[in-house]
Amino acid sequence: SMKDPVQLLRIKMLCAGALNLAAAAIFGERVQGMRVAAGALLLGSLSYGLSFLLYTRAQRVLGAARQGALFAVAPFAGAALAIPLLGDRASLSDLAGAEVMAAGVLVLARARHGHLHTHAPLTHEHPHVSDAHHKHRH
């Protein structure tokens, strides 16, 4: 969507917050104080809010296919961080999976967006200059 990502985020977070508050009320949960509530809001804003904004920005700049491929590597990044941070050990299958994912990212990052067809003239709300996968003539 070419809509304002901040506006989309506000709508999504408002809906998610309302549903979570309703679920908490149904199950009899209570807020454990304003400090806990403020911490939960801050954590949600940073973890979900920031990731959503980065996700939509990447989708616009990189294109859906490349952004999707990079987004799919997030579990790999989490596993890679867990090794030094949590003292985990990588198994042979972990290392093999990491190599396959790295190869996939490399292939997608180097892929060229070629055309054997022509596009109908389009009017975009965004400039093609920042749309890396469309840096070619139509």
Region 118-125 average pLDDT: 69
Long-range contacts at 121-126 (CB < 8 A, ≥ 24 apart):
124/2, 125/2, 126/2, 126/60
**Which pLDDT score is estimated for 28?**
93
Cα–Cα distance for residue pair 52/1, rounded to 1 Å = 13
Q: Quick one: residue 47, left, alpha or beta (phi over 0 = left, psi -120 to 50 = alpha)?
A: alpha
Q: Which residue reads 């616009």 in tokens?
A: 60
**Which pLDDT score is estimated for 130?**
52
Q: Which comes out higher in pLDDT, residue 127 or 21?
A: 21
Among the listed ranges 42-51, 57-66, 100-109, 121-130, which one has the minimum average pLDDT value? 121-130
Region 78-104 average pLDDT: 86
Region 101-110 average pLDDT: 80
> How many Cα atoms within 13 Å fall on the side-chain side of residue 92?
0
pLDDT at 78 exceeding the cut of 90: no
Per-domain boundaries in the chain:
1-62, 64-113
Among the listed ranges 64-68, 108-112, 132-136, which one has the minimum average pLDDT value? 132-136
**Which pLDDT score is estimated for 77?**
82
